[in-house]
Structure 1
Amino acid sequence: MNEIIKKRRKEMELTQEQVANYLGVTTPAVNKWERGNSYPDILLLPALARLLKIDLNTLFLFKENLTEPEIRIFCAELVEIMQEEGFDTAFQTALDKTYEYPLCDSLIYLVATVMDNCLTLNPADLDDKEEYERQIIMWYQQAASGQDTVIKNSAAYMLAKKYIKNSLYDQAQQLLETIPENNFDKSVLLVDLLLHQGQCDEAAEIIEQKLLTSLSSIQPLMQKLINIELTTGNKEKAEQIAQIAESMVSLFGLWDYGAFVPKLQLSLFENDVDNSILQLKKIIHAIHTSWDLSKLPLYHRIAQMPGIDMKKALVPALVHEFENSKEYDFLRDHREFQKIISDLSQEC
């Protein structure tokens, strides 16, 4: 408050004596206000605000919530305080700030994560460690019940981790069910929860499905990268990436289809008729060859799960691509290419 009074008085080109005369107080009293040695009487505050042409919220430096930059600066300061003055002082500073802004979900969540990480890094014999842990959980609970959807889900995720650690499995399960699947990857926590409950096969199924999905999503990215390298004249890099893609199929037991597409990209780029036809035949053979997950150590538990009929999904798309993409123009009059299109069209 003292800085606001001093700043506004000078902006309005008033002396301390003039302010004192307007409010019926002494000049030394105004001087003490500006130095922070004392505060105006509560009955003087409305008149002082009117004199300085500000509202009471401004006079009191009142803000409903902190801004995101202010929160991040404060959290950085917490780390500095912990390093210089110790965990206890940093924690009390964090607690005071959350008391000052009890409805600021972003502040409460970030303070919880910072102090949670700091607590993990501190010695096990830290005084009142259990009490600190309880307060951190309370912060997560508070943030998880807030209005901001992103913060709410993030806090629920962190809280579920705490519940699993403390063997509160039912509460962890209930929390995980509230987090939208499309906005958050809950697989790691679900695996932890199932493992703590002794459900190893169920946990392994989640891991296998996650692994297969992740690896499969990498292949299209590598194909895009090959195209970029070819377009920018880096043929050698493109060939290296194609080799990596092929090795990945073998190493992780992926569908053979993914090993031949990069080679086809290289052949098409060079207008290599013979090799393009060869790779197309290999791709068609892969589409018609069963991919038996039950024989693969990484995916044998999900082998019996219903999956997508890849042949049914791919064949129409391939026919459309072969008939319309300019990449295949140099193959249009080739008898074997026409036969490939004809055979595939009959399956649509």
Structure 2
Amino acid sequence: MEIGSIIRSRRAARGFTQEQVAQALGVTATAVSKWERNASLPEITLLPALARLLGTDLNDLLAFQQEMTREEVSAFLDTLHRTAGEGGLAAAFALAKEQRKQFPRCGLLALNTALTLEGLAALAGVPLDTEDAQWVRALYRQAAESADSAVAAQARAMLFSQALEAGAVDQAEEWLQNLPPQPLYDKSSMQARLALARKDWAKAGEQWEGNLLHQIGQVQSTLLSLMDLAAQEGRREDIAPLADAACTLTHCFGLWPYETWSVRLQQALLTEDVEGGLTALEGLLDTLDRPWVLGPLFRRLGRRETASLTAQLRPAILRELTDPDNSTYDLLRDSPRFRALVEKADPC
């Protein structure tokens, strides 16, 4: 909302005419009319008095408290992705900082900007410098204080994870204690039920299929965590059945085979199975060249476009495989087959 619209709406809410506002400020009614039409702006010395007259403050008057809608945030994030693709991470940060200046109190924007910038940095394989990392953390902290409980909870969850990864266990516990308990309702399922009641079959089906994909992802993530735990506790015999269960999910629900090969690669690394790891890596890299078509259980979600995802995944995977400081793949690196796979997958 531009300042003219704010002045007009606040004036109408207070029951003032343009003439009354003009008289109170010592200007002409024509000047007030021009302000409201954005044909001109009030002099800076008039702003405090104008804000008091309209029963507001300068932040609101200058649109500093203006929130962005979810649709506007989503559109901005698309622009942020394009900017990063065309101008790099530095250009994306510059754009994000300019947007925050316009909406400095929007928690939804702060949260999603932080998530997006961290994701872009991870995909680019570029660690954030100290200044950028602190700026992103400030976004999370701002979002953590948002009046939107969902935004605040997600931001606090991210701050918990960051503190835990940094070894700040006490700080992580503090963020965890600030998280609300899980709600007893499932909003997405309720939305699907509402769509069903309105006989909007397509929307209800798409919502439930999306819920199913999310739940499968949660189960797979839990199984992978249990595999890691089994390895740390020296229970290698438990790793295979856990991996089998995760792969069965992918097969039964017709999901992207990349997920299966990723599980098998982790299984091989945890059990120090070189041949199994190389076979899984070959399968994983091969899936990057194949389109992903969801199975018949997801008719409404339809065909998933993987070209852009593959374009981001491939360089990220190759950086991990070739990074000498990443010890994850040390088990495989001495094999000529490993080097051949990496060379084949690298389009350069």
Q: TM-score band, normalised by the shorter chain?
A: 0.3 to 0.5
TM-score, normalisation: structure 1: 0.44
**Larger Rg belongs to:** 1
